[in-house]
């Protein structure tokens, strides 16, 4: 497909979309615009985009497709700016925000009864890293890519899918309200709970320093999402606050119910609480990508000797296996230590485990 694509916001998501489009449509011309000129320059130097737009107007006036990949509050400002620009008659505008109701209402206000087609979008994929330098053309592979069109823009959904075909994502057309409720349950509320657990540990740590010392391993794993960008999450929960207030009430009821059975010492009810959670959790898809980025971790026993970690990483590198992060969980002189290796893909973890096992390393993975 020939055409000009403008990516507004060249972080991880915007950059990865640019690469995916370039891979599938090499004849297309990708333009980039970002208020952060460093990101823009980096995107051009890494060949993520073909051209730098010196202003939003310059890129928007010539674009056939405009993809907004900025934080939600900034996105609304950009949309209002776009409404003051003379765009192509058949332009498609889409976004990548994780909340849709506010964005879609604004789009309807700005472009109702115009030739501009706005289709809401939310690629449910991410990474532990950020910035355009971490962009990958396969970031969205096998991830759900939710589209929330208006009834009058349904006719152009297939056209947008064609432009985004290089993502190899699984497209899902969803009602706007349903999208925000579902993401509230499986993404936004968990971020609030994880942050609440960490804040509780922080307050208790003031009275007992053992908490921080012993909060490695599992506690770090179940609260990883609390390390997400605070400003971004402030904007997200603000835009989905009506759903989240209802969900927080339900969560409070769930915890209060458990508190009551615990106070009563109701052995059967306590068992059901954990058993029901285990049953549903074990029924969830293992290898599908969801609203929260998956963590593919491998734990490797290593001896505390010079060069032990370097041997592991060199072995993986020699076989073309990429890692995203390393963490030494235990490192006691002369004793066995545990190396936690993070991978961005399930296949990379599987290859690494097979390779390290072959070389007599003892490995473990999380379910």
Q: Kindly list the domain boundaries of the chain, sorted by start residue.
A: 4-174, 179-283, 296-365
Question: For a pLDDT cut of 90, what percent of the chain falls above it?
Answer: 61
Could you identify the residue written with the tokens 């890519």? 145
Assess contact for 290 and 144: CB atoms under 8 A: yes
The four Cα atoms 225, 241, 126, 2 give a dihedral, to 10 degrees, of -170
- The pLDDT assigned to 334 comes to 45
Q: Which residue has the higher pLDDT, 338 or 41?
A: 41
Q: Is the pLDDT of residue 331 over 60?
A: no
Closest CA to 171 of 149, 137, 144, 139: 144
pLDDT band at 291 (very low <50, low <70, confident <90, very high): low
CATH superfamily, domain 4-174, is NAD(P)-binding Rossmann-like Domain (3.40.50.720)
Assess contact for 78 and 55: CB atoms under 8 A: no
Q: Is the pLDDT of residue 332 over 50?
A: no
Q: Which of 82-96, 187-201, 218-232 has the lowest mean pLDDT?
A: 218-232
Q: How far apart are CA 148 and CA 179, in angstroms?
A: 8
Q: For domain 296-365, which architecture applies?
A: 2-Layer Sandwich (3.30)
Q: How far apart are CA 75 and CA 107, in angstroms?
A: 11
- The pLDDT assigned to 328 comes to 75
- The pLDDT assigned to 289 comes to 67
Q: Report which listed range, 170-184, 228-242, 296-310, is most confident.
A: 170-184
pTM for the full predicted model? 0.81
CATH superfamily, domain 179-283, is 6-phosphogluconate dehydrogenase C-terminal like domain (1.10.3660.10)
Averaged pLDDT score across all residues of the chain = 90
Residue 157, classified by CB atoms within 10 Å of its CB into exposed (0-12), middle (13-18) or buried (19+), is middle
Q: What does the pLDDT look like over 108-134, one tens digit per residue?
A: 999 988 999 999 999 998 765 678 888
pLDDT band at 54 (very low <50, low <70, confident <90, very high): very high
- The pLDDT assigned to 367 comes to 53
Q: Is the pLDDT of residue 89 over 70?
A: yes
């Amino acid at each position: 497909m020939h055409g000009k694509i403008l990516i507004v916001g060249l972080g991880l998501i915007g950059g990865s979309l640019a690469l995916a489009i370039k891979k599938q449509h090499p004849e297309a011309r990708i333009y980039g615009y970002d208020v952060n000129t460093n990101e823009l320059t980096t995107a051009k130097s890494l060949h993520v985009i073909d051209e730098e737009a010196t202003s939003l107007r310059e890129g928007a006036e010539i674009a056939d497709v405009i993809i907004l990949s900025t934080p939600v509050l900034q996105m609304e400002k950009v949309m209002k700016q776009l409404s003051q620009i003379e765009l192509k008659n058949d332009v498609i505008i889409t976004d990548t925000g994780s909340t849709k109701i506010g964005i879609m209402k604004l789009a309807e206000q700005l472009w109702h009864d115009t030739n501009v087609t706005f289709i809401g979008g939310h690629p449910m994929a991410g990474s532990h890293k950020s910035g355009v330098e971490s962009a990958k053309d396969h970031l969205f592979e096998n991830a759900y890519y939710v589209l929330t069109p208006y009834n009058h823009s349904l006719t152009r959904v297939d056209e947008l899918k064609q432009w985004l075909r290089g993502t190899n994502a699984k497209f899902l057309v969803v009602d706007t309200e349903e999208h925000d409720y579902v993401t509230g349950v499986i993404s936004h509320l968990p971020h609030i709970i994880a942050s609440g657990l960490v804040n509780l540990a922080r307050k208790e740590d003031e009275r007992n320093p053992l908490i921080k010392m012993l909060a490695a391993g599992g506690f770090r794993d179940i609260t990883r999402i609390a390390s997400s960008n605070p400003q971004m999450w402030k904007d997200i929960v603000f835009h989905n606050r009506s759903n989240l207030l209802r969900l927080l009430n339900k969560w409070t009821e769930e915890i209060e119910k458990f508190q009551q059975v615990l106070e009563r010492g109701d052995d059967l009810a306590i068992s059901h609480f954990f058993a029901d959670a285990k049953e549903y959790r074990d029924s969830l898809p293992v290898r599908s990508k969801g609203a929260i980025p998956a963590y593919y971790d491998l734990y490797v026993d290593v001896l505390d000797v010079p060069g032990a970690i370097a041997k592991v990483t060199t072995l993986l590198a020699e076989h073309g296996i990429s890692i995203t992060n390393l963490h030494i969980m235990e490192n006691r002189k002369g004793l066995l230590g545990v190396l936690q290796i993070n991978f961005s893909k399930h296949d990379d973890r599987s290859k690494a485990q097979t390779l390290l096992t072959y070389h007599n390393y003892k490995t473990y993975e999380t379910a």
